[in-house]
Each structure stands twice: as structure tokens, then as C-alpha cells.
Structure 1
Amino acid sequence: MQEIDAADLTDFDNDVRGLGAPAVLRGLVKAWPLVAAANDGDAAVVGYLSQRYNGQGITGIIGDTVGNRRLFYNDDVTRFNFERVSGRLDSFLRQLLQENKQSEVFAMALQSTLIDEILPTVAAENALALLPGIRPRIWIGNRIEVAPHYDLKENIACCAAGRRRFTLFPPDQLANLYPGPLELTPAGTPVSMVNPKNPDLARYPRFAEAWAAASQATLEPGDALYIPFGWWHGVDSLEPISILVNYWWTAARTDDVGNGYDAMLHALMSYRHLPPEQRGIWRSMLDFYVFEQAGDPVSHLPSHAKGVLGPPSAKLFAMMRATLKRALG
């Protein structure tokens, strides 16, 4: 995986995003007070966060079996192997600290929580200049394993305390990663059903191809990882107390466009059970109109006649919504 010394980084869009692949940004947030507290030890970082906690309630997760670090499904894939619980951040941190010397504990995690909602001072003290307008989220837990999954946004993941190992797969490995259910997902998108640490290649033989295309990186406190849109990533927290801050963003017109994942679910309902020859025709139409495999599909029409296929604008998206409402009745 590409590694970049953050001290040498001058053009994020060209030097990092322009790679079209994940990149480790060594030392990107090493000056954060949160990282400095972590470097002073577990008690110091717990104290740093607890002193700045505003008392807002949190929702975390706890595993259902002592010693099982993998957050996943139960054996028959009818539910998860963890429960969601509510409480206070300071109590959660005290419990992490008390149990951090034990070898067998329940997996515990606070995931994807907006920092400015529970730790506004921490958000102000630990800012990322690369993405000044993006609200950061915090992830806190013990030694846990998160199954490979993908995000529908770009991501910078900043390691603040403890080491984290990321295993990444390109988007084109979708079929080789054997995605789980669309309806029952830990965080909105499917996870791989394969355990990368102990893959059952008799059941999931194509995973060998995915593994050949994989890359790994271990982040130390102060390091960060850029994960492009749609790249699969599994995450192992390697220490008794592990803290990550991440930034999700997208270059898409989020205020206007529809949700692509929702559209895919609608497409499944509309096309998947048609006869093969009809699905082939619909695929050709999608390639032509949506993915523009033959170029602009309405370049031959005058501007006033392009309708919903004209240049993007607030007016156009309002027209598209109106068209969809009429189509859906």
C-alpha cells in the first residue's frame, strides 16, 4: 500500500485521492492532544476524554460471548452476535480501563458517534485541516474484529490510541468476498461472510482471489489511512483500548441526488426476476442512460428537449423527483 509522510503532503487531491487507491498518511494527526494523551497511557487518554464529556447519552455494543472479538452474525445468520446498549461515555471508558488487563473479556465498542455531540471540546482541539467542513466521528473499543465491508463515501481514518490493522480489497472483488444479507447489516451495507483470519475455502473458494488482491496496513497513534469510495476494509483493533476518529465525505451533490444504495434495492425489485433476455435489454439501457457507456445519451437533442437528462441543477433534480413521484403513483 502506498505510504506518504504527512510532513511532505502538499496536495491532498492530487497526491492522495489522485492515486485511486488507499494510502497510509504517516503522522497526519500526531500533533493532536488526543494522540498525546494516548501516548501517555490508557489512564491518561481515558481521563482526557472523561474530563471533556458533556454528559450526553451514548449507544454502544457489547458481544454476547466472552473472548469472541469478532463482531458478526450468530451461527444461523438470524441476528448479530452482539447487543446494543445505552449509557454514559465516562462509565463505558471506566469499564474499558478496568478490564484492559484481562485476557478474556466481552467485545465492547462505541461506533460512529459524532464527536461534537458528546465531546465538543475534543472536536475543537483535534481538528483535521484537510477536511475542515466535515464532522468527525469517534470509535472507541477494546480488541475487536470488524468484518470487511464498504462505505458509500470516501474516508480518512485517523488512529488516535492503540494500533489498528486494516485489510483492504478493491471494489471489483465484490463477488469474491461473498457479501452477507442486504436486509440484516451491522451498519447499513453488507459485510463479507468470510473470516479473513480463518477462511473456509471449501465454502468460499473465490476468496483466494480476493486475498491475492488485498493490501494491509497497521496504523500507529497519529497515523491515518485514506480509503476511497467503495473499497472493502476489515479492521482489527490490536490493543485493550483503541480509539479511531474518521471523516466521511462525498463529492456528489448530496442535497439533490437520490441514494444510490436505495436505487440498487429498487433495481433488484424491478429487474432481478425478469427473464434473462429482458434483463439484458435493461442492462443495455442502464449502460446507455445511467452509466453513459456510449457517451452523452442526449447529445443529439436540443437543450430544451433533454429533460431529466440535461445538465445537473436544482431545477433538474426537482423535475426528476416529480417524474419519479408520478411513476410511483
Structure 2
Amino acid sequence: MMNTPRGCEFPTIQTFEKAPSAAEFESGVELTNFPAVFRGCASSSDWDACSKWNPFKNGLDYLHERAGSVEVEAMLSRTAPIFNGDIRSHERVSMPFSDFIRLCKQHMISKENGSGVDDANSSASLCSIPQDPTPGQIYLAQFPILNDEKEDKVQLKILRRDIQTPTLLRGKSLSSINFWMNSAQARSSTHYDPHHNLLCVVSGCKKVVLWPPSASPSLYPMPIYGEASNHSSVGLDNPNLSAYPRAEHSLKQSQEVTLKAGDAVFIPEGWFHQVDSDELTIAVNFWWQSNIMSNMPEHMDSYYLRRITRRLIDREMSLLVSKPSSTDLKPPSEHLDQCNIGQAEGGDDNSSNESIEKGISSIREKTPLHDLDPSTSLALHELISLVHDHVNAVDTSKELQHTPPSYSNPASERDNSKILVNSLSCLEDDRVAHMLWNLEASKLRDALLAMARYFPRTLEALILHMLSPVAAEVLTQKFDEIDQQSGEEDRGQFYREFYGAFDDESAAMDIILTRKEAFAFQAFENVLDKYLGVNIASPTTNI
């Protein structure tokens, strides 16, 4: 069993001192979609590259001799040592591989001389490189040694004979094998790949920081429709937390592994990773398509998209209504003390309550207000206080005495609900939602029944005027709990009394469902932002 490092949400990355067989790798590592490190995976006994490519053992001369005439395309970065995947932050530069080798030699000489500064005149002599960059700005990244789709563009295939497909990958249909080489220290920006990846260090050292796909929200992926959609938009060394507040938690979700010459790391598809390379580091990586993607028929894409999106929305909704850390609520209004609960609404005006009088007189006699359970009575008191506080704040007490015709119009209620969509709040920020959440389902049922029987206009004001989208979500969750705790007859009686308190039952039901859907839409927007890097204005006309 793998251990979970402190502060991290996933188990410690396994390290294998001996590479497993292909069957062991597939069943015990690959199918888990979890990274693993393999020591000595690319050993000198199997790979000629480990000895022949080593820059400190005349490896640069060997590479120059073998492939110096090959035209390569290097990354030129003005933000070195960081190389960002966004094409706006770098450009591709064509040059003979021999020129890149000379840049590496130039860097070695400057380090040996102790200057730490490369000879600008030597750089200037490489006329194929624009604006005379220093070697630290050039990185030969992802240059193909093998590519199953673009065989004609595999210029470095001459180096294929110096490496071997690792034992654990035998039988795999490889998409590509790529060559990576840097002269000075370099860092690739945080990104994920759409393939399984085995990264093997031939010479030098790499440090790889890894995040699971579930860490996407804290890494702020670039928009899914962009050219660098698989890259993070946040610099993790010193993130701008005012612009990217979720990035504060990114490092807690990460793990770091160090790879020396001969070591390899398996990076599953979708796992974010940032790679730091020491000076004069050379690596080779192998890409292949996962079994999941290989076996996913295209005609099912839209269905899987909807299923996965729905699952992410449900998860986001659960986060938004998770129990708040503090249960502090504003004390109930003092103008409505406990004794006043015994006085029902309506006075002598029985017509306003006529719709809920039928069939419940016997139940009312069995449960007078003064016989309510103390905790239920307190909950009722606080709910009524919330409504009265709201009424006083907006000076609409006269409107609450008689429900205006517009409140019986479902279309009008949908228009009113639109106003709330742009001011959705989390559970801990909404007093009504917070109070509903902290009530046991049975206590809430009794409190709502008491409101329906004695304070129908207050209940109507609560539902039609004060029920925010998050409160509507909490209320319907409580309804589900009530359903689970009640028999069929009791459930029917509860809903008849609850909705019977409204002048227009369908309007009340519509407003609850509409605001519940508004809450789900907020969760959907959050999913687009967290996982697809997309921010959209709330289309209130569709809600």
C-alpha cells in the first residue's frame, strides 16, 4: 500500500529500483494512472547513448559527428530559464544541429573559465540565430527521433540506434520518441500531455514536479480553445494570488521526483508536470496512447462529455454547499419574541388562509404552536425573524400582507430569479441557506408545516422573495432527506400542506426549481473556469 505524503491528496510516488516486466508495468502501474520512478531504466549496458552522448565525455563531438548537419528547430525564449508552452512567449528557430552543439560547447567553456558569461562574439557568429541569443535562451525540446505519423520529419532518427525501448514498454505501439537537450539550466512551464509518457534521463539531472488532473483548479489551465490549452497560466514560484487565489494550494497537491542519468519517470496522460533541467542535460521520452483513449469510440464522445461534465457539476455543487466552518449566525430579531409565535397571521381574515384550512384542522389541533419541540420552535422563530428583518429592510411589509398578482405568475417569478443569478453566494454567506443546512430534516419539516398553518404569508415571502439559488439547493436536499424519513402518506400530506400555503402552488414550485437550476448553472460556470479555463458571462436570459 502506498503512503500519502503530509499535505498531499494522493499517495507517495512509487520508486522501483529494478524495472518491472512489461506485464507487471501494465497491470501494476499503467492501469492505475499514477506516476512511478524507475532507477536504472536506461542503463549504460543497454543504451549506448548513456556513454556516447555524455557532454562531459566527448559526447558533444559524437553528436556533432553523427547528426551535425541535421536542421533542427529549437525554442528561443526571452524569459529563460523558463520556457513556456504558449507560442506567444517563445519562437521556433531553425538551425543546424551543429550550431546548437557549438552553443553548448561555448557554455561549457564559459563555466570552466569561471566567468559564467557566454562569449557574445561567439553567439553573434551563429548567423542562423536571430538577435544573438545567449545559450541559456535556446532549448532543443521535443525533437523527434521516431514519429509514427510524420516519418518524413524525423530528422534525428540516426540517433535511434543509440537507445533501446525500455523492457517495460515492450509491446507498446509508440506514438513518438523525442530528444530533449539544454545547455544552461532550463524549466518547462507546467503542463500536461495527451499521451502516456516515459521520460528517461540520458545525461545530467532533472527535477519533475507532478500534480494529478484533479489539481487542475489550483493550476488555472489555459482556455480549452487556445493554442496552449494543456498549459497552466500560473507561475508557481511566485504566483499572483490576487489574480489566481486558488494557486495558494497548488504546491500542497504536488510531489517532486529527481531523475539522474539512467533514471526514468512514468507520467500518465493528463498529469500536470513542471520539469527543471540542470546544465547540459539530455533526455529521451517515449509517448504512447493510453488504453482508455484507444478504446474510446468517437461516436460516444458527446455522451462521455455530458456524463463527465455532469459529474464535475455535481462535485462542484457539493463543494458549494459543504458544511461551513463556522455556524455563527446573526441573532434572531428581538422584535419577534418567543411568545409572539403563538399568534398566527391573518387575524379575522380567514379568506387568505382558506386554501390551507381544508383537511388539516384536526392536525392543527394536535400540534398547537406551544406544543412544538423547543428546537423546532426556535427554528421557526429564527425563520420568521429572518423574513421580518428582510421586510423591514426593504420596507415592503404592506406588500407581504397581500400577495400581488405578479407573484402568482411563473414567468414573473423567472424574471425575479434572474436578479439572483448574478449574486449567488456560498452556503456560509447566505443566512437562509445556512439556517436550513443546520436544521435536522425532521425539525425543518415541522417548522415549515407550522409556517404553512399559522404564517402562510411569511412562508410565501421566504420562498418567493428570499430563497437564493444556494438556499433552493439546500431546501431541495432537505426535501430529499424528509422523503427518506417519511412514509408515502406522510410525504404526500407534507407537500400538500407546504404548497397549499401559496396562492399559486405552481409558482412556488417553479421558483424553487428555477433557482435550484440557477445554482447548478453557477456550478457549471465554476467547472468551465476550473477545468477548461473558460470564463463566461452568466446568460441570465436562459435561466
Fold in common (TM above 0.5): yes
Question: What stretches of structure 1 move > 6 A for 4+ residues in a row?
Answer: 258-261, 278-281
- 2: CA distance, partners of 1:181 / 1:174: 12
Q: Percent identity?
A: 27
What letter corresponds to residue 180 of structure 1 in structure 2? M
- 1:60 equivalent in structure 2: 74
- 1: CA distance, partners of 2:103 / 2:16: 36
Q: What are the equivalent positions in structure 2 for 1:1-329 lying under 5 Å apart?
A: 1-7=13-19, 11-31=24-44, 32-39=47-54, 41-42=55-56, 44-53=58-67, 55-64=69-78, 68-72=80-84, 80-100=88-108, 101=111, 103=116, 105=134, 106-116=136-146, 117-128=154-165, 129-132=167-170, 133-134=173-174, 135-142=176-183, 143-182=185-224, 184-185=226-227, 188-239=228-279, 241-250=280-289, 251=291, 252-253=293-294, 257=298
Gaps of 5+ in 2: 1-12, 118-133, 147-153, 310-513, 525-543
Greater Cα shift, 47-56 or 18-27 = 47-56
Q: Where is the strand percentage greater, Structure 1 or Structure 2?
A: 1
State the Cα deviation string for residues 208-240 of structure 1 (Å, max 9, x = none): 32211100011101100000110000111122x
- Decide whether aligned partners of structure 1 residues 258 and 99 sit closer, same or farther in structure 2, where only a CA change above 3 A counts: farther
Secondary structure of 1:146 counterpart: strand
- 2: CA distance, partners of 1:255 / 1:231: 19
State the Cα deviation string for residues 99-157 of structure 1 (Å, max 9, x = none): 23263543211121211423334212301133354231111113111111111111101
Conservation of the 8 A alpha-carbon contact between 1:162 and 1:238: yes
What letter corresponds to residue 46 of structure 1 in structure 2? L
TM (normalized to structure 1)?
Answer: 0.69
Higher relative contact order (CA 8 A, sep 6+): 1
Deviation at 1:85, TM superposition (A): 0.7
What letter corresponds to residue 35 of structure 2 in structure 1? P
Name which one, 1 or 2, has greater alpha-carbon Rg: 2
The count of corresponding residues between Structure 1 and Structure 2 is 264
Deviation at 1:6, TM superposition (A): 2.8
What letter corresponds to residue 182 of structure 2 in structure 1? G
Secondary structure of 2:241 counterpart: coil
- Decide whether aligned partners of structure 1 residues 50 and 123 sit closer, same or farther in structure 2, where only a CA change above 3 A counts: same
Conservation of the 8 A alpha-carbon contact between 1:54 and 1:119: no
Gaps of 5+ in 1: 269-274, 285-329
What letter corresponds to residue 243 of structure 1 in structure 2? I
Conservation of the 8 A alpha-carbon contact between 1:151 and 1:189: no
Deviation at 1:173, TM superposition (A): 0.9
Conservation of the 8 A alpha-carbon contact between 2:19 and 2:168: no
Secondary structure of 1:115 counterpart: strand
- Decide whether aligned partners of structure 1 residues 53 and 278 sit closer, same or farther in structure 2, where only a CA change above 3 A counts: farther
